[in-house]
Structure 1
Amino acid sequence: MEPLELVAKWLREGRDDAKMLVDLPWQVREREGYLEASHPRFPFKVKILKRGEILTLIVDPGLVLYTLPREEKLLAFKRLLALNSEFSLVRASVAGDDDRVLVLADLEIKTLNKEVLNDFLNTLISSVVAVYHKLGRADELDDLFYKHILSIAEELMNRGMSEEDAVRYLTVKIALPRPVADSLIRDLVKRRREIGKSYA
């Protein structure tokens, strides 16, 4: 089986109560020349492509440096370089005309197994968090996670899912604590009712 096919198989056959990231049920889309993997717990996708005997995993965490003043941009570059010296499996890079930050990891195909892939996924995602913190933008990451979870909750309610089923989805799929999921769904239902009244 080809490496990308094997990775797609592992990620798709996961289960919600898994202890390892690689064993969670990921949604995997086959794009031209690469895979795009996503899971409801994370507000970003993992791009996986094969280059020779290497699998490269890439996350675009949504950080753009182009709009920063020159001195702030240079400081951000220096911080990313410093962070690269701390990373072992991954590296941070800047690409494109908008100076978009990317977090990448190169996995040798000859070492590929589920445990190795899991290590790389863990390191990749924790490194994205480290990049946000290193650039002094941790609040943006918190906001990104909140908006991501809120958008999922809204989508569930738009599908006509009951409050209890929506709470169960958030606790099982995203691993939200039950009280947090309850509160989020209650607030969302209340807000939707208030919006409905304003149009009545």
Structure 2
Amino acid sequence: MATKDEVLSWFQNGDDNAQKLIDLKWKVSQVGPYTVLQNDKIPFTMFLTFNDDNTLNLLIRTGIETATIDNQERLTVYRVLLILNKRVEMVKFMLDGINEEVVAREDMVTDTLTKDEINAGLNAILTAFYLMVQALHLEDQFNSQIIERTYMMIKNMADEGKSRDEIKDYLKKTIGLRDEDAEKLISEVLDADKAPSNMYQ
């Protein structure tokens, strides 16, 4: 079983020039029940919670608070989140707190957890966040790093010799994307002449 100390060591003992998310050097701190994960190359803070039932939760707080927006906009956000919850199997979007902030959450079992599985989880929640930004047309509000990181994940797999079908298989089986979403994401990356600074342009 992967212990809390072992999992945190994977985040702390990295290198900022690493290609994989788990291999970056993360700043790790403890705030109440949350382990806070930060890296300058990732435009948001991640949170980990370790539970007594041998599970851990990986969370991203989006900063999108739905309690204060008008009803029509709120319904649009809710609809998008429900659709995304079906499209991305590993990650679920939910509301949290008095301001009903949109939170992305992924649950993992620590009994057989490996470093590669943690990396797959990071890729999954990053991809889910990317799809949310795209669906809600919030690209102007979020740092282009998230787009570039998603691009880099796919580009690195191609550079390692993975075929288009193998990359699609990874996005579908490991991250939980639908076939059409995986194909669209791959096309945006591999069919482009160069890495765009913003995939939505």
User: Which TM-score band applies after superposition, normalised by the shorter structure?
Assistant: 0.5 to 0.7
Q: Match for residue 123 of structure 2? A: 122
What is the identity percentage for the equivalent residue pairs of Structure 1 and Structure 2?
A: 25
- C-alpha distance in structure 1 between counterparts of 2:59 and 2:29, whole Å: 15
**2:42, 2:145 within 8 Å by CA — same for their partners in 1?**
no
Contact 1:80 1:92 in 2 (8 A): yes
Runs of 5+ unmatched residues, structure 1: 146-179, 181-200
- Whichever residue aligns with residue 17 of structure 1, its letter is N
**Do 1:63 and 1:101's aligned partners in 2 also have CA atoms closer than 8 Å?**
yes
* Distance in 2, Cα, partners of 1:94 & 1:33: 18
- Between the aligned partners of 1:118 and 1:144, the Cα distance in structure 2 is 18
The offset of 1:115, in angstroms, is 0.1
- Quickly say closer, same or farther: Cα 1:130–1:124, change in 2 above 3 A: same
Where 1:127 maps in the other structure, the secondary structure is helix
> Shift of the alpha carbon at 1:95?
1.4
RMSD: 2.1
Partner AA of 2:13 in structure 1: E
TM-score by length of 2: 0.67
Q: What residue in structure 2 maps to residue 42 of structure 1?
A: 42
Instruction: Give 1:56 shift.
Output: 0.2
Contact 1:129 1:141 in 2 (8 A): no
Give the corresponding residue for 2:63. 62
Partners of 1:42 and 1:63 in 2: CA distance: 18
| Per-residue deviation, 1:12 | 0.6
Alignment size in residue pairs: 146
Cα separation, 1, equivalents of 2:73 and 2:103:
18
**Structure 1 residue aligned with 2:103:** 102
Q: Does the CA-based 8 Å contact 1:38-1:44 persist in structure 2?
A: yes
Contact 2:64 2:101 in 1 (8 A): yes
Matched residue, 1:112? 113
Aligned residue identity for 1:90: V
Q: Describe the SS at the equivalent of 2:65.
A: coil
- The one-letter amino acid of 2:10's match is W
Structure (1 or 2) with the greater helix fraction? 1
